[in-house]
Amino acid sequence: MSLRFADVDPDAIDLHVLSQDTVEGWLADQPPAVAAWVGANGFTGSIGEALVIAGADGLPMMALAGYGTPQSRARGRFALASAAAKLPSGTYRIAGGLSAGQAETESLGWLLESYRFDRYKTAKPMVAKLIAPAGIDADRIQIIANGEALTRTLINTPASDMGPPDLEQAARDLAKQHNAQINVTVGEDLLAANLPMIHAVGRAADRAPRLIDIRWGNGGPTLTLVGKGVCFDTGGLNLKPGSSMGLMKKDMGGAAAVLGLAHMIMGTGANVQLRVLIPAVENSVSSNSFRPQDILTSRKGLTVEINNTDAEGRLVLADALALADEEKPDQIISMATLTGAARVAVGPDLAPYFSDDATFVAALESSAQAVADPVWRLPFHTPYEAMIEPAVADLDNAPSGGFAGCITAALFLRRFVTDSNYAHFDIYGWQPSAAPARAKGGVGQATRALLDALDRILTK
């Protein structure tokens, strides 16, 4: 589905966005009948309140949306979206109550609130449409919204229809849309291309493993995005229990996130040379599954002892990261639904990330706050390197002990990037319960913050 603002309409309904401390002053300037109607309906300006006010002809004359208080807005994001979902059918234009920055954020939230995943079941559409507020970059916001929608739809699609070939097709469709180049290495050709760990993880599945490689842009700094594309994760021979397997269609959330971010970058015409690498596999069980205590040799030449076949994401990412690093781009970013430890540490709403670059960190933290896309920095804690060094190989894919699981995973990945600036995001990619502008299901994390930050640190 395409998320878009409504066309300009002279008959659009004025929408007054009122915080709790502005309702009384606004009412003082209104006719008595309007003030009486608002009072009779108990409108207080709380977040989520929506009220239509009719004229003498019975048709909507204006509408109100509650905007809460600074304290209540700080407890969530996209406050206007919750009111927008309650407004009746019509085209609305914001008539006041928002700063320029708030108008940009809330109009994006309105578009995201209208997202529906309706591939398998008809979903009731959101009937309230918004005209883009004056002063915002409407085209950019629509591109960002549709990048997020792409990420959500890819994650929401079950593995029966989103295996490695389907993820490849989604990447091909995106490349075609933006006139990008794409190359895909499949099956046994991965061995010939020296991508052995991608092959090892995916070889047991009926749908062959592959590496998707997209290139776009002819000038500017070089940026490579690497996304974990494990289209379903059974755990391999270390089979997951059913309760842990239920959401494993989302284990390609890193791939979905980088494709959504790539759409934003290409759609906005950023001045970068973009490369997107996605190792797309299924971690399945068969007679040729890779096994615990196997030792794999990576593209980089580092050997890896397999102590848990359910720690497969870092294996496929490692080969892709080594390939990315060979070109020494200005920035490599990996995104993956990698560890449960990250969820325990920060919950589902925050996107933890790792970076040792002060410039990158400062830009990202500022951008995350500005665009309502929260992140949280975790450390590449070098003293923990010993935890990923077993006795019989260079690296251990699943250190015992259970401590600092997301940090040791990030340190594992960092071993495969030696010549480039590197940041890693251990995202969840899932909204456990519905929230304003974020339906329950697949969700993008850190992509809007990254787009804003990269605009400032790479493309200017």
Q: Which residues carry out catalysis?
A: 240, 314
Q: Is the dihedral of CA 192, 194, 196, 199 positive or negative?
A: negative
Write down the H helix ranges in 114-163: 138-156
Give kind and range of the element (H or E) at residue 61.
strand 60-66
Q: What share of the chain is helix, strand, coil (3-state, %, to 5)?
A: 35, 20, 40
Neighbours of 30 (CB within 10 A): 15
Identify whether the C-beta of residue 174 lies closer than 8 Å to the C-beta of residue 150: yes
**What does the buried/exposed string (b/e) look like for 251-277 if buried means 16 or more CB atoms within 10 Å of the residue's CB?**
bbbbbbbbbbbbbbbbbbebebbbbbb
Alpha-carbon Rg of the chain, whole angstroms?
A: 24
- One DSSP character per residue, 224-263 reads EEEE-EEEEE--TTSPPPHHHHTTGGGGGHHHHHHHHHHH
CA distance 313 to 281: 9
Are 79 and 436 a contacting pair, CB within 8 Å? yes
